[in-house]
Structure formats: structure tokens, C-alpha cells
A and B are shown apart, each in its own frame.
Chain A
Amino acid sequence: MTFITKRQLAVTVAACLLAGAAQADTIRVGVIAPFSGPFAIWGQQFQQAIEVYQAEHGTEIGGHSIEFLYRDTGGVNPDQTRALAQELLIREGVDYLSGLVFTPNALAVAELATQSETPTVIMNAATSMITTQSDYFLRTGFTLWQVTVPMADWALAQGITTAVTAVTDYGPGIDAENAFRSAFEAGGGTVLDAIRMPIQTTDFAPFMQRVRDQAPAAVFGFLPAGPPTYAFTRAYNENGLREAGITFLGTGETDETTLEALGEPAMGLHTAYHYSAAHESEMNHAFTARLAEMFPGSVANLASVGAYDGAALIYHMVEVAGSDGPAAMQAAMGHAWESPRGPVSIDPATRHITQNVYIRMVDRDAEGRLINREIDTIEAVPDLGLSQ
């Protein structure tokens, strides 16, 4: 049996690319994300934000036109993610990869990105160590340490010295617990109890009772977005923690796409996060207005801003380096720009985005809608997870 050698294939691919280049130089970007199943909202938010960016900035930059290709992973599925990335790289000849919501999916692409020297802009997957797995990984999302440590610091600054952590018992939950505890205790606070709640639980009353019995000044919660968060915030109110003066501290629990469903019980919850759709800046107003105009009923959230900035970063790399992977990575290092979330830059040490983290409180806007109102800003926070 004769094998097609790598050289032969490379020649074929190069020939195809050159043939394409003669007419119009198109840079292709493969976006791998869930577009079906329970996590379909991620892919949808990504695609809408990218289309908003393209509507604002056109589909051409530096003499190249840019085309985005979308591929569906369903949920956590590293096998399929790797196969899709391979298909995008080999058959579709993409020059950039992007998307990637879940940590295992991002990790499955690491070796491919390195071997093919393809800059890969991770729009969400939030475990700190991901960017260490390939020199071609960049990230425009956030990490748990990045938002949790400022939450703990802010709490200490408000005179909160005792807290109980209540997290869902899975990887990210445990990371959040560790991040909060280390920052809180380093600042002189005391974590009275660390509660880990089973991932399938929807009845949080016993946990809330346990928190209340220990009478801390605050409870730090971390749960996957969705139904558990509703039940958790309801239990926080129904078990009288609010009346007892126990402050709720969180991170992504008050996501814009689920905030309205949380309703009145969400009022006054404190969270630390890198983006609020209610961020006061001209750029953010323009972004959210354009999104609502192009996709009625859509609201901007962390996925939208991750994808919008991912597109911005890819546009910048294409403008400077075209389809040259290593040069594009050079161009990305230290690149700073204005985003709907505020000023951001790529940290050359971690290839992760450095950004402001905002302390927010759930409130109602002029029209009576629930929003995350920013009440304090911690400026230019890098990823704090890798130094731990």
C-alpha cells in the first residue's frame, strides 16, 4: 500500500492555496463550539458577536478577506473536537482556530495547534493551565482565579473578615474554592467552612442552613450557570441569609442570559466579573445596540464579549501577519486594544487576556430590567492562576 507522504500532501495543499491566492487572498478561521444540545447558547452567542464584529469592521483587513467557518461539538467531546480541528486544518485549510468552550475540548486541540503552527484563540475554556499546553494558544475569555481573587480582596476591603464557601463539587468549583480561600486568608480573613455541594443537587436549603448557623459575614458561591443557580439564589433568600446580613459573593452566577429569569431574588447580589452588558462606555453601548438590532432578543454576555474580542485579536493578527502563524503570534504578544469590557491586552507571559475586573451588584435599570451594575473596578488584572 502506498502512503501519501506528508510532503506530497503539503504540496497539494499549497497548490490549492496558491491557486486561491491568485484570485483573492482569503484567510479562513475555524470556530469550534457547541451549536446544538444544552450548550447551544454558547455557539449562538459566539456566532452573533463575530457577525456583529464583521458588520462593524467589514470582512477585509490588510488586503485579506476573512471568512469564519463554524463547527458543532455538542457538549464536552474532545474526540470530536480533535477530529473537527483536523478536518478544518487539513481539508478546509484554515489559518486560525477559535471558539472552544470546555477545557477538555481545548486541550484536545493543543498538539494540533503546535504541530501546524496555527494560532488558536480560545474564547472561553477557563482553566488557567490551558494556555501552557501549546505555544499557539491565546485566550480572550477569563480564568476563575482572575475574577475570584479580586472578589476576595474587595470583600476584605469592605470589612468582611469571615466567610463560608459553598461550591459545586467539580473541577471549576474546587478551583474557585481554592482561589477564594487563598486570597481571602492571605488578606487576613477566615474561611469558617468550605462546603462542596453535589453537582446534581437542586435543593440547597440544607447548605444554606449550614451557612447561616455559622453566621459568617459573607457566603462565596460558585455554581454552573443554569437551573442550580436559580435554586441557589432562591435558597439564599428563603433561608433568611439576606436578613441575617450575610453578603452573597459570586462570579458568573448573574449571567445576562439568565439574569431576568432569576427575578427579584437576584437583587443586591454581589459578583466579580470581567464583563457586564451594562458596562458604561461608548463602545459597549454601540456593541449591545448593534447586537440587539441584528439579533432581536439577544443579550450580550461573557460569551459575546469573548468572541467579539477574539475576532478583534484575529483581525489584528491577520492585518500584521496574514496567514503566517509564528509571525501572527508575535503580533498578538502585548497587543492592547479597547474592548466593550474596557481596556484589554494580551499578556506575553501567559498569552491570556489582561483586563479590568468589575465588582457588580444586581440592580434595575431605568426600564426596570435586571442588570449587573458596576460599583467598583480593579484595573488590569492578569491571570492569577498560574503563579499559584
Chain B
Amino acid sequence: MKMLRSFIPDTLLIALAVGAFFAFPYDLAFLTRIVIMMIFVLSIDLILGLGGIVTLGQAAMYGTGAYAAGLFAVHVSNDPLLGLLAGMAAGAVIALMSGLLLMRAGGLTLIMLSIAVAQVLAEIANRARDWTGGADGMRGIRMGPILGQWRFDFIGQTGYIYCVVVLFVVLFALKGLKASPLGLMARGIHESPARMRAIGAPVYQRRLILYTIGGAIAGIAGALAAQITQLVSLEVFSFTLSAEAVIMLILGGAGRLYGAILGVLIFMVVHHLAASVDPINWLFLIGLMVLLVVFFLPKGLLSLPPALQRLIGGAR
């Protein structure tokens, strides 16, 4: 019974994804952006929410994945799935390499270093104009059909389904990881690294593994963005991207995977609606929303139902 109950949110999510496809046939481009962002924020939830590794530089892996997938499409093969693997591998490699240093640090040092990694990569991409197109962006990415079957269409139906499938694969993989010994150990490290070390857990090594997996997932998100937009710009490494993703995670609630999905959905839908109603002053509304949530629901929107329950219970 308990086993069954744990699948309710997933069934709901799948129904939501399918429903959105039919309910908003004209907004698939926007929905696809939301799905890609969800994958990216999930990668942050893994390292920040689960492992307690606070960084503001996850865009480093996202951007690397995007450029890797772009270069792969231009120079090697236009197969989307192979490109996705290339992006994933590139994200993992960058996370592993930078993680060797970063995972030895903590707190503010870690935050600063993670930002620095993204900045350095952005500068490298800017310099390597022949490869990346520099500030003009990398163009010429043309994707082939998925599995030789489904072409990317103008309306974005293929793109949406493709990204949704990847999202669910990532989500289920992360659910498995969360329940695995590695996931449990990560939770322990999050709560008290000193104690974990005392019981003999290899803290540094486990954090490095977690960070690398997070990097691989961020790389997947970047690769999807490159394949859908067919252009990669230097902004994939921007600090704003990393920071906004963390805000979305906190909005939804960190450490529970569904928080990442809810946070991205609410943030981007409000952003989209507010920005199309009032293209000049919409930022105010977003700011207000984040303020209210952080103030009244410090654990994110996911904690809204229990909070309401408490409120009603308390009134009685």
C-alpha cells in the first residue's frame, strides 16, 4: 500500500505533462523551456538539497553540456540522443575536474569558487571564437530525427515529448539514487559531515561523486537547450542562470525533487504571464512572490499543505 502511495505524485506528474500537451498546443515552445529548466534545477536539488553542497555555479556544467552538444551536432553527428550523451559526459567531466578542488572547500569559499569556475569557462568560450562563435553565439546546429523516426517540428511537439521523456528518466533515476546507500549517506553528510566522518564514511569522495552526477544532469539540461534552440550563447554560463535556478529550487522546496519541479513551474509560469501582461514591471511581481514564500514558507511551496493544516488545526 505504501509502495503504491509513493507513485501517486509521479502518476499525477505524468498526467499533468500529457494534459499540458493537449491543453496548450500553441505554447509547447514555452512548456519545453520549463521542462528543460526542471531538469537543470533537479541537478541542483541533488547536490544542494540532498548533499548540502551550496554552489552558485551550476551553470558551468549546464553551459559545458550545451556547447558540447552543439559542437557534437556540428562536427560529429546530428543524432539527438548521441548529442545528449555528449552533453552529459561533458557536464560530468567538468564537475569531476572542478569538484576535485571544490569539494575540499565549504561555505563561502565553495560558493565563490563555484562562481569562478563558471566565469572561467565563459571566458574560455568567449576566446575560442572559431569554435564557439564567441559573443555572437554558436550557430549551425541542425538536429536529425530522434531514433531516426521523429523530426523536430515547427510547433515543437517532438521537442516537448523528447524533453518530457528525458525529465522523467532523470526524475526516476534521482528517486532511485535518493533511496540508495549513496543517497542516504549524502543525507547524513548534509546533516553532519563530522559525524559521518567519525563513523568512517569517505565524505570527500561521496561529495565528489554526488557533484559529478549533478554535473552530468546539468549537462543533459544544457544539451537539450542547445538542441531545441539550435544556438548556444555565452549566457549559458551566466551567474544569473545559476542564481535563478537556486531561487526556483528554494521557492518549491529543496531536497525533495518534487520541490524542484513545482518551483520551476510556478516561477516560470508567473514570469511568463506577468511579462506578457506588463513587459516593463513584471519583475516586481516575481520579487514579491519570492519574498512572501521565503518569509511565510521557509521550506518552500511544497510545505504549503502541512502549513495550512497546522493553521486550520490551530484555529480549532
Q: How far is the CB of B227 from chain A (nearest CB, A)?
A: 11
Q: How far is the CB of A134 from chain B (nearest CB, A)?
A: 11
Verify A77–B139 contact, CB threshold 8 A: no
**Which B residues are in CB contact (< 8 Å) with A172?**
135
Whether B280 sits at the interface, judged by CB under 8 Å, is: yes
| Stretch of A85-93, A266-274, A295-303, A373-381 at the chain-chain interface | A85-93
A43-B279, A103-B135 known; A80+B33 contact, CB < 8 A: yes
Verify B275–A108 contact, CB threshold 8 A: no
Whether A35 sits at the interface, judged by CB under 8 Å, is: yes
Closest residue of A by beta carbon distance from B137: A104
A36-B279, A36-B282, A83-B33 known; A75+B136 contact, CB < 8 A: no
Question: Taking chain B's interface residues, is the majority helix, strand, or loop, or is none over half, making it mixed?
Answer: helix
Whether A387 sits at the interface, judged by CB under 8 Å, is: no
Question: Taking chain A's interface residues, is the majority helix, strand, or loop, or is none over half, making it mixed?
Answer: helix
Verify A79–B279 contact, CB threshold 8 A: no
Interface centre among B134, B136, B225, B280 (most CB of A within 10 A): B136
Whether B228 sits at the interface, judged by CB under 8 Å, is: yes
Verify B280–A40 contact, CB threshold 8 A: yes
**Which A residues are in CB contact (< 8 Å) with B279?**
35-36, 43, 70-72
Whether A205 sits at the interface, judged by CB under 8 Å, is: no
B156 contacts which of A43, A80, A86 (Cβ < 8 Å)? A86
A87 contacts which of B29, B225, B232, B233 (Cβ < 8 Å)? B29
Closest residue of B by beta carbon distance from A40: B280
Q: How far is the CB of A374 from chain B (nearest CB, A)?
A: 30
B26 contacts which of A35, A91, A127 (Cβ < 8 Å)? A91
A9-B155, A36-B275 known; A170+B29 contact, CB < 8 A: no
B: interface residue count bin: 35 or more
Whether B290 sits at the interface, judged by CB under 8 Å, is: no
**Which A residues are in CB contact (< 8 Å) with B121?**
none
Closest residue of A by beta carbon distance from B157: A3
Verify A107–B154 contact, CB threshold 8 A: no
**Which B residues are in CB contact (< 8 Å) with A36?**
275, 279-280, 282-283
Name the interface residues of B125-167: CB closer than 8 Å to any CB of A. Answer: 126, 129, 134-137, 139, 153-157
Closest residue of A by beta carbon distance from B232: A78
Verify A133–B135 contact, CB threshold 8 A: no
A127 to B36, CA, bound (A): 29
Q: How far is the CB of B234 from chain A (nearest CB, A)?
A: 7
**Which A residues are in CB contact (< 8 Å) with B275?**
35-36, 71-72
Verify B276–A71 contact, CB threshold 8 A: yes
A78 contacts which of B25, B36, B137, B282 (Cβ < 8 Å)? B137
- Chain B, residues 153-189, CB within 8 Å of chain A (1/0): the string is 1111100000000000000000000000000000000
Whether A171 sits at the interface, judged by CB under 8 Å, is: yes
A133 to B136, CA, bound (A): 13
Whether B10 sits at the interface, judged by CB under 8 Å, is: no
A259 to B279, CA, bound (A): 27
**Which B residues are in CB contact (< 8 Å) with A116?**
154
A76 to B225, CA, bound (A): 15
A76 contacts which of B154, B157, B230, B233 (Cβ < 8 Å)? B233
**Which A residues are in CB contact (< 8 Å) with B30?**
83, 87
Interface centre among A71, A75, A91 (most CB of B within 10 A): A91
A35 to B274, CA, bound (A): 12
**Which B residues are in CB contact (< 8 Å) with A133?**
139
Closest residue of A by beta carbon distance from B154: A115
Verify B229–A79 contact, CB threshold 8 A: yes
Q: How far is the CB of A178 from chain B (nearest CB, A)?
A: 12
Q: How far is the CB of B100 from chain A (nearest CB, A)?
A: 27
Verify B29–A83 contact, CB threshold 8 A: yes
- Chain A, residues 99-140, CB within 8 Å of chain B (1/0): the string is 000011001101110011000000000010100010000000
Q: Which residues of B contact A (CB under 8 A)?
A: 18, 25-30, 32-33, 36, 126, 129, 134-137, 139, 153-157, 225, 228-235, 275-276, 279-280, 282-283
Apart from A76-B235, A116-B154, what are 12 other A-B pairs with CB-CB below 8 Å?
A: A35-B275, A36-B275, A43-B279, A72-B280, A76-B234, A77-B235, A79-B229, A82-B228, A87-B29, A108-B229, A108-B231, A115-B154
Q: Which residues of A contact B (CB under 8 A)?
A: 1, 3-4, 6, 9, 35-37, 40, 43-44, 70-72, 75-80, 82-83, 86-87, 90-91, 103-104, 107-108, 110-112, 115-116, 127, 129, 133, 170-172, 174
